[in-house]
Structure 1
Amino acid sequence: MRRLSFVLSAALLLNLFAVTKSSSITFGESDEGRHPNVGALSADFDGTGTKFAFCTGTLVAPKVVLTAAHCLDFLPSYGISTVYVSFNQTFDQSNTFYSGSYVPHPEYGKNQNDPKDIGVILLNEEPLQPGTLTPLPLAKLPQAGLLDSLKAQGTLKNQVFTAVGYGQVRETKRLGPKAIMDNANRNMVLQTFQALNKAWLRLSQNPSTGDGGTCYGDSGGPHFLGGAESDLIVAITSTGDTVCRATDVDYRLDTPSARDFLQQFGVLLP
């Protein structure tokens, strides 16, 4: 199940996509400026000028925001050619919005083993830290095959990861999907390793083991390798379980297909 937002109207969502991840991080806490390069993606779906947040993205080059392809590939069917990104701690209509065009991977969804769930938003101007004239810091990308190397060394299983997003929140283990609540804040949470596949990094978001994770609206958001202050993004939120409390399934950024796609847009890779 993709983790798009259900901030949009119910009627629009029924026609738009099978609901994925929305508001924000589960069993987490407010990001409070620790990841200023993570922003909320929004669009004017109803033509009124009101922007509806639907996914999360990360600034990886001065005018390039990284997100998931499934956050972008449905937009043409709604006549959406412009996506907006805001980097405020809380999403609302008073935010500073940076407009841009979008490019999902052209081979998205054509191969189950590697669905290439990656895309970018090409901003028209370089975003600044809210309320300042200072450019936002860029997230760092991993070396080729970094996760494979850590696995081969036997150290991947001991790593901590940090998920960040504007999606829906969950604060109780009970009540199934009824416990998922709307949210407009950028939140973060720590996670532990579960498994590594050719295209996927699977992380625990089981609160019974002390983990949290992503939920609807966090799609496309980053998973940083390391603790709460880390800026090394190694995967992006793609999917997970329906009630947002078991497993995050995240698209890897250290693979040849991900790196080849990003290099087209001038993103510097180590």
Structure 2
Amino acid sequence: TSTGRVFCTGTLVSPQVVLSAGHCLEEAGGDPAVSAFFGNDTTTGGMRVGVRMTLTHPDWNGSLAGGHDVSVSLLTTPQDPALVVPMNKVDLAPFVGASYRVVGFGIHDRTTRELDGKKRVGMMKIDRLGGGVHPDYIEVSDVDADDATAICQGDSGGPGFITVDGVEYLAGVHSYSLQGCFNPSGDARPDLYMDEFIQPFIDQSDLSCRMNGQCVRAGCSQDPDCLPCNADGTCASGCELPDPDCPTSELGEICQADTQCTTGLCVAWTDDPHSRFCSQPCTGDADCPASGMVCRDVLGEGRVCDYEGEPPGALGQACDAATDCSAYLCVEGTCTYTCDVPRNLLCPAGYRCDTLDGDQYVCISEAPPDEGGCCSTSGNPPTSSLLLALLLFLYGVFPRRARKPVCAVDVDVSSA
């Protein structure tokens, strides 16, 4: 939060989406400074990432007795796909009685009620599916008789893991424990809400799940980059557009990825990163024989061949086919690229985000037509960032406060 308070735990389930508990959003309130923390100790090191949008399950009614205690939060930027935790999609019935690893940043001592912002891990076991609160929960308890490990305040939204063929899968989201942080503890089941809520949100909101030159299978169900003719890591023939995995573009030519260039380097134009072209390291202009290219320093690339003016296929250039354009998008004889105002994918000055066919939104020049007549302007409102907040503590973890007989947010995942 804006005060640095830890209130819930969460799990990165796609490069840009964190899964947590529904009641955690009540803890966040309207604080616009809520962020997600990646690390083991919120007081030292780690990394904080802003939260752009949060959403609870549509059937969450604020009561644990109603079930559906899950929420998703969209980060401002995608994270490393290697950090994504896979979610369980198998039947949990065979796992009743099995070990269940829990993680959280919550209260670690039910007597002193100390909350120190550190991530802790504990081992519990699955007692049953369902229970007295709602049939959608997993009820768990400590594997040891001392009952020292339980869900407690601040652990809410954190993950519970099962192991399948040596791989851990997120099977539960910490939701409640009995008052005072005693067992049984209960976790919401993501598998029950996957198809109707979690996966659709990921696919529609996570930029990594869209065409961006990187095949991401972690969390995304249908990343178009993973199709054979896209950046899936294999060179395919017979593609309508150039396969970015095939090194067919020469120095100075349009590219989407390093693998598409015979030089092994695809760089973005400084004025507009949507325009990319094949380059190579250089020491002087003689190393850049392509017309219009010079040797100079480019931020993030070092000294490489760059265009003095516009590279081929830049926004607004004339085109006859998609392959004439850097973004492989030729609309009414002009190179352009897609845009999405609600998701802050904007057009540069002089262009507006609009649609010509009622479906795809692209950047369209605001310059008046060459001939007389009237031209209409876009009705799109100016963009603004829409941010709610929720401090998500990752690996996936976030915390929260307990309730009565059944404390709605408590996960003491500290070891005994």
TM bracket (short chain):
0.5 to 0.7
Q: Which has the larger radius of gyration?
A: 2
Query: Deviations for 1:16-55, whole angstroms, at most 9, x for unmatched residues?
Result: xxxxxxxxxxxxxxxxxxxxxxxxxxx11xxxxx321100
Does structure 1 conserve the Cα–Cα contact (< 8 Å) formed by 2:147 and 2:182?
no
Deviation at 1:245, TM superposition (A): 3.1
Question: Are 2:49 and 1:98 equivalent residues in the alignment?
Answer: yes
Q: Could you list the per-position Cα deviations for residues 34-83 of structure 1 after superposition, in whole angstroms to 9, with x for gaps in the alignment?
A: xxxxxxxxx11xxxxx321100000000000000010014544xx32453
Distance 1:122 1:222 in 2: 18
Note if contact 1:218-1:237 (Cα within 8 Å) is conserved in structure 2. Answer: yes
- Structure 1 Cα separation of the partners of residues 113 and 129 of structure 2: 27
Are the counterparts in 2 of residues 90 and 184 from structure 1 also a CA contact under 8 Å? yes
Cα distance in 2 between the residues matched to 1:55 and 1:111: 17
How far has the Cα of 1:94 moved from its partner?
Answer: 5.2
1:92-131 → structure 2 map (5 Å cutoff): 92=43, 95-100=46-51, 101-109=53-61, 114-127=66-79
Aligned residue number for residue 184 of structure 1:
117
1:190 aligned partner, one-letter code: M
Q: Which residue of 2 is the match for residue 222 of structure 1?
A: 159
Match of 2:40 among 86, 89, 107: 89
Residue deviations 1:108-132 (CA, integer Å, cap 9, x gap): 127866521110110011235xxxx
Report 1:35-46 matches (<5 A). 43-44=1-2
Q: 1:262 aligned to 2:204?
A: no
Any unmatched runs of 5+ in structure 1? 1-42, 45-49, 129-134, 151-155, 171-176
Percent identity among equivalent residues?
24
CA displacement, residues 146-169 of structure 1 (integer Å, 9 cap, x when unaligned)? 214x2xxxxx23311000010111
CA distance 1:269–1:224, change in 2 (3 Å)? farther
2 CA distance for matches of 1:169 and 1:269?
Answer: 36
Q: Distance in 2 between matches of 1:58 and 1:264?
A: 17
1:87 and 1:116, CA in 2 relative to 1: closer, same or farther beyond 3 A?
same
Match for residue 141 of structure 1 among 87, 101, 110: 87
Taking structure 1 as reference, are residues 238 and 269 closer, same or farther at Cα in structure 2, changes over 3 Å only? farther
> Which consecutive aligned stretches of 4+ in structure 1 deviate over 4 angstroms post-superposition?
110-114
Q: Secondary structure at the match of 1:263?
A: helix
Q: Deviations over 1:154-202 (max 9, x none)?
A: xx233110000101113xxxxxx42433222111111112111230100
Indicate yes or no: 2:129 matched with 1:196: yes
CA distance in structure 2 between the aligned counterparts of 1:103 and 1:225, rounded to whole angstroms = 26
Q: Does 1:252 align with 2:252?
A: no
2-structure distance, mates of 1:137, 1:67: 16
**Is the Cα contact below 8 Å between 2:97 and 2:127 reproduced in 1?**
no
Structure 2 regions of 5+ residues with no counterpart? 204-218, 223-416
RCO comparison, higher one (Cα < 8 Å, 6+): 1
Counterpart position of 1:169: 108
The alignment of Structure 1 onto Structure 2 pairs a total of residues equal to 200
So what's the TM-score if we normalise by structure 1? 0.66
Aligned to 2:168: 231
> Residue in 2 aligned with 1:18?
none
Secondary structure of the corresponding residue to residue 6 of structure 2: strand
